[in-house]
Structure 1
Amino acid sequence: MQQTSSRQTSRQSILVGVSTKMYLGYRDSLAWLEQLRNEVDARPALAAGRVVPFVIPSFPVLPAAARLLEGSPLLLGAQNCGWADGSWTGEVAPSMLAELGVRLVEIGHAERRRHFGEDDAMVALKTRAADDAGLTPLLCVGETKAGEPAAAADRVYRQIASAVDGDWNRAGRLVVAYEPVWAIGAAEPAAAPYVSDVVRALRGRLATAGVPGLPIIYGGSAKPGLLPTLEGVSGLFLGRFAHNPANFGRVLDEALLLAGAGAGVGAGVEDGGIDRMGLMDRTG
């Protein structure tokens, strides 16, 4: 993989995703997913793969979601996974998620670390298990308090290194969701210059590990209007602001404009990189 400059977008794809967490019930989730698919279907340019949308609903919704999204560019993800098959009551194996048509799985979200005691060792086990099952790990990382961008980048780099247990070949199959913990659920996202500085410093560290082009998307109160202001990111990971499907569509439009204009968003996913990450065909 070759390093990309902070302004280069030629032949790269931008990721735009959303998680419902546990906000929506079953029926509401399906109605929302249908509207989300309508937003995607209304933008035939998404078929070119320059912008890759994904959605992460609650576990019980996944089988119906897989059927609803069949034939759509909108990829399906899961909010969590276990790290092994067998006697793990209440957990879901990555292999089962793959059978359901899930393509990527969220790992290490700050809420799971804080409320469910998930530590770095557990995150590493889940990352390995998801990757071994052919899923793309969507690794959630971020500093707990606002500070200097260099310190935040160092913290995030160490989280990534821990998650892959030093195996940087495995890291090349991740998508990193940079979510400053202090920005999750806030009224506004982290300031664009701060995010850009953190990602720039992080990419410098990742270059030394041989993965300068690792996809890094920003999450943490992300909403329409943010993506064009960020440099060096590979897209956005949306939350409550995209529970209005029209807002998801607005961000898709921003991403399509950036992908076509070749300016603004810096290090997206290189053409062919979608396959490299496994988002398109690892479960096929």
Structure 2
Amino acid sequence: MSRKLVVGNWKMHGSRAQVGELLEALKAGSARAQGVGVAVCPPFPYLAQAVGLLAGTDIGVGAQNLAVETAGAYTGEVSGEMLADVGCRYVIVGHSERRTLYGEDSALVARKYKAATEQGLVPILCVGEQLSEREAGTTEQVVAAQLDAVLDLCGEAALASALIAYEPVWAIGTGKVATPEQAQAVHAFIRGRVARGADTPTLLYGGSVKPDNAAGLFVQQDVDGGLIGGASLDADHFLAICEAARS
């Protein structure tokens, strides 16, 4: 890809006041992210606020999840059609917290991926292994199975130009981070598995990315940017990560 992409996943954090303050700070510091694709994924209640505040900027807005269904008696669910209607461009599917805390298996994640694309949204497909799986040497098998669920449902072309975030589960919210070499190895595996001819996916690293480790990750050949968790809630930290993606 020609430029890096940095996406902030705010998870279940924020208030109207905090969202306003954070986004105004990002806009004020946007020169620090020049040449880098930037997006934020707030919780559902703040999506419309974010879209409004970011209108006229190059910062995209995404959601953190979506339903498989388009409409109906599904209390508590939010459809891709609704997300597109309020102005979302992206949506995260298959985040490890959805898989581990809410029991979303790869078959369901694949259906969500398909639902997102059908509404014109750009899904950010999350894949990654547990610590026990890395220690057992099965990282590639685990990641392959997660990718294959989408390929089997949506076809080979579905991931060739997709956004895929590799997030080692053992490095999310733990303060641990994969070494640049570990991240590169898995990213190269993913690219080799899903790239088709000239089409190649955009691969983001997600797993405790901070200003002090971002540069070492982003210089890796197959790391095209990051899916940023906690650091995305601090404007200065998030912009510092965007700056690291410029070099």
Residue 104 of structure 2 corresponds to: 118
**Which residue number corresponds to residue 159 of structure 1?**
146
Instruction: Report how far residue 196 of structure 1 moved.
Output: 1.2
2:227 corresponds to which of 237, 244, 255? 237
C-alpha change, 1:156 and 1:218, in structure 2 (3 Å) is: same
What is the total number of aligned residue pairs between the two structures?
A: 241
The percentage of aligned residue pairs carrying the same residue is 37
How big is each residue's C-alpha offset from its partner over 1:11-44, in whole Å with a ceiling of 9 and x where there is no partner? 611101111101222321222122122222x34x
Deviations 1:122-143 (A, max 9, x none): 1111110100000001111101
Q: 1:178 aligns with which of 163, 166, 169?
A: 166
> Which ranges of structure 1 fall in alignment gaps of 5 or more residues?
1-10, 258-284
CA distance in 2, matches of 1:125, 1:116: 16
Structure 1 residues 130 and 139: alpha-carbon distance in aligned structure 2, compared to 1, 3 A threshold: same
Contact 1:196 1:233 in 2 (8 A): yes
Give the equivalent residue in structure 1 for 2:156: 168
Residues 160 and 199 of structure 2 are in contact (CA less than 8 Å); yes or no, is this contact kept in structure 1? Answer: no
Scaled by the length of structure 2, what TM-score is found? 0.90
The residue aligned with 1:255 is 245
Q: Cα distance, 1:70 vs. partner?
A: 0.3
Please state how far the C-alpha of 1:148 moved relative to its aligned partner. 6.7
**How far, CA to CA, are the matches of 2:135 and 2:182 in structure 1?**
8
Residue 66 of structure 2 is aligned to residue 81 of structure 1: yes
Larger RCO, structure (CA 8 Å, separation 6 or more): 1
> Any gaps of 5 or more consecutive residues in structure 2?
none
> For residue 181 of structure 1, what is the amino acid of its counterpart?
V
Q: Are 1:76 and 1:102, in contact at CA under 8 Å, matched by a contact in 2?
A: yes
In structure 1, the residue matched to 2:4 is 14
Q: Is residue 170–residue 176 contact of structure 2 (8 Å, CA) maintained in 1? A: no
Contact 1:137 1:173 (C-alpha < 8 Å) held by counterparts? no
Contact 1:149 1:197 in 2 (8 A): no
Which runs of structure 2 are paired with 1:133-282 in the superposition (5 Å)?
133-145=119-131, 147=134, 151-164=138-151, 165=153, 167-207=155-195, 213-230=200-217, 231=220, 232-257=222-247
Is the 1:66–1:102 contact (alpha carbons within 8 Å) kept by the matching residues of 2?
Answer: yes
